[in-house]
């Protein structure tokens, strides 16, 4: 129970691709009381000849519980709720008997080419034919179909289909996962659009899923609803948590990152169309929040623009690249691996950066002596020519992002405010590039080390009274 006079504490947990991050917020002041993170080591690499990447979801659950058990006692005693967010793309299934999970498949993740290009073309064409959210390599329903065809997922009763987020919440509550947030359903593919309010059973049947598995698809809750479940007493006692706390999965990491930015930067709904958010983490996303009533006026949008569920009355319009800060990291790593005796009077490095679904090339040349051997991702104290190359690399990437965004009507040439977040946004030359590309915008940097986790906690704190009903 919460101590008299002490404000309840809400946890936000970001279950990411490589690590789990946790924040604890005071529900009244929104002050950050505690934050922690830990690699989960769930990745198992190649599982079979035709499966290039998977995660052990039990590692995600175990690492989450480790972070919960290590919370300071004074914080732990005040917890009333925890909100989970994180990777939306990982699809898996778990089998439940009498409220107990007795087995689970691997969590299949990333675009790992399980299917041949011909088969993916068929699945993609089916999604377009039915007008549902897209199907991708290594994502969602295509992965579940792969599990079914390989025999890991059988037609027997008791299976539940979900992402890793619902799995962790279900393990904490000792109840089978029955519901899913719209943004996660959208990511899995096959959700009825717009809004992603339900899975299309006719599409799932055409896709090839068994009828019993189609029936096991989760219910998609309305946008903005939390649908919390009580953490089971045995879990609470084992982890030293108060009894009666609840757990929910409000939305995926992209939505919660945007929510955290919008709250911290105090972006009012009236300013949504004049404000863009650029997240430069490992990857890169340029996003605007758009009211549903305005969405129809922007159609047809470029295929490069993804329409993602956000709240009951708004969607996110996003241009995304798989490359962002990782380009700088890869380039710096390339320099660090170059032997001292090798001259770098002329070096050429090429990479493919993906903007939406189509690739564009980033080619650049580096002249003169190479940088110091200890060049790191932060690129601190390196020769000027190294900075110049990094500047050009970001310029080419963000120019391509801007071209797609402006060309589709996602953002205006004269955007008034550009909010930067993510690790790479800390570099001064990145801010300079943004000011060059968006000269009319006020460019701001928002430091949010645990953005999605913060957003998940804030989403719960600011929820309407009936949002969990």
Model pLDDT, residue 13: 96
Class of domain 9-253+453-461 (CATH, top level):
alpha beta
Q: Give the residue extent of every domain in the chain.
A: 9-253+453-461, 267-445
The C-alpha atoms of residue 306 and residue 103 are separated, in whole angstroms, by 35
For the chain, list residues with pLDDT below 50: 1-2, 47-51, 337-384, 464-469
**Secondary structure (3-state) at 18:** coil
CA angle 277/283/289 to nearest 5° reads 25
The C-alpha atoms of residue 198 and residue 206 are separated, in whole angstroms, by 16
Two domains, one topology: 9-253+453-461 and 267-445: yes
Say which CATH superfamily domain 267-445 falls into: ATPase, nucleotide binding domain (3.30.420.40)
**Who's near 251: CB < 8 A, 6+ residues apart?**
85, 181, 182, 183, 184, 259, 309, 310, 456, 459
The C-alpha atoms of residue 324 and residue 423 are separated, in whole angstroms, by 10
**Who's near 108: CB < 8 A, 6+ residues apart?**
51, 53, 54, 90, 91, 92, 114, 138, 143, 146, 147
The C-alpha atoms of residue 59 and residue 51 are separated, in whole angstroms, by 19
Residues 214-263: tens digit of each pLDDT: 888 888 887 777 789 999 999 999 999 999 999 999 888 888 988 998 88
pTM for the predicted model, two decimal places: 0.81
**Closest alpha carbon to 376 in 332, 315, 441, 409:** 332
How many helical (H) and strand (E) elements, i.e. helices and strands, does the chain have? 15, 21
The C-alpha atoms of residue 46 and residue 143 are separated, in whole angstroms, by 15
Residues 23-74: tens digit of each pLDDT: 999 999 999 999 999 999 887 655 444 445 778 999 999 999 999 999 999 9
**Closest alpha carbon to 10 in 34, 36, 45:** 34
The C-alpha atoms of residue 290 and residue 402 are separated, in whole angstroms, by 18
Backbone angles phi, psi at 48, to 5 degrees: -145, 175
Provide the 10 A C-beta neighbour count for residue 388.
15
Half-sphere exposure of 303 (CA within 13 A, CB side): 5
């Amino acid at each position: 129970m919460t101590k008299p006079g002490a404000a309840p504490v809400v946890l936000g947990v970001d279950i990411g691709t490589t690590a789990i991050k946790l924040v604890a917020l005071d529900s009244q002041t929104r002050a950050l009381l505690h934050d922690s993170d830990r690699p989960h080591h769930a990745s198992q690499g190649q599982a079979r000849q035709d499966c290039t990447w998977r995660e052990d979801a039990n590692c995600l659950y175990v690492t989450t519980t480790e972070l919960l058990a290590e919370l300071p006692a004074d914080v732990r005693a005040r917890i009333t709720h925890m909100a989970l967010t994180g990777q939306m793309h990982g699809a898996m299934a778990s089998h439940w008997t009498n409220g107990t999970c007795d087995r689970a498949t691997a969590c299949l993740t990333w675009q790992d080419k399980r299917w041949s290009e011909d088969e993916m073309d068929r699945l993609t064409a089916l999604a377009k034919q039915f007008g549902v959210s897209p199907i991708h390599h290594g994502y969602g329903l295509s992965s579940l179909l792969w599990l079914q065809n390989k025999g890991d997922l059988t037609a027997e009763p008791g299976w539940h289909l979900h992402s890793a987020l619902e799995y962790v919440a279900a393990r904490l509550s000792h109840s089978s996962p029955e519901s899913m947030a719209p943004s996660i359903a959208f990511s899995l593919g096959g959700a009825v659009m717009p809004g992603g309010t339900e899975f299309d059973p006719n599409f799932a049947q055409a896709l090839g899923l068994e009828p019993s598995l189609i029936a096991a698809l989760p219910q998609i809750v309305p946008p903005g609803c939390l649908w919390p479940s009580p953490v089971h007493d045995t879990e609470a006692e084992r982890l030293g948590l108060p009894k009666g706390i609840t757990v929910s999965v409000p939305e995926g990491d992209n939505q919660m990152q945007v929510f955290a930015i919008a709250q911290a930067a105090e972006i009012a709904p009236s300013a949504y169309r004049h404000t863009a958010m650029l997240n430069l983490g490992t990857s890169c996303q340029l996003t605007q929040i758009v009211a549903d009533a305005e969405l129809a006026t922007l159609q047809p949008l470029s295929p490069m623009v993804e329409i993602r569920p956000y709240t009951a009355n708004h969607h996110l319009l996003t241009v995304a690249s798989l490359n962002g800060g990782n380009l700088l990291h890869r380039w710096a790593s390339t320099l660090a691996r170059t032997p001292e005796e090798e001259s770098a009077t002329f070096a050429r490095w090429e990479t493919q950066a993906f903007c939406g679904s189509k690739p564009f090339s980033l080619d650049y040349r580096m002249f003169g002596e190479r940088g110091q051997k200890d060049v790191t991702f932060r690129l601190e104290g390196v020769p000027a020519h190294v900075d110049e190359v990094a500047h050009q690399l970001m310029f080419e990437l963000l120019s391509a992002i801007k071209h797609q965004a402006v060309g589709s009507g996602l953002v205006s040439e004269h955007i008034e405010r550009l909010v930067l977040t993510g690790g790479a946004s800390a570099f001064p030359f990145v801010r300079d590039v943004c000011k060059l590309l968006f000269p009319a915008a006020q460019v701001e940097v928002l430091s949010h080390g645990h953005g999605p986790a913060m957003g998940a906690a804030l989403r719960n704190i600011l929820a309407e009274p009936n949002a969990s009903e």
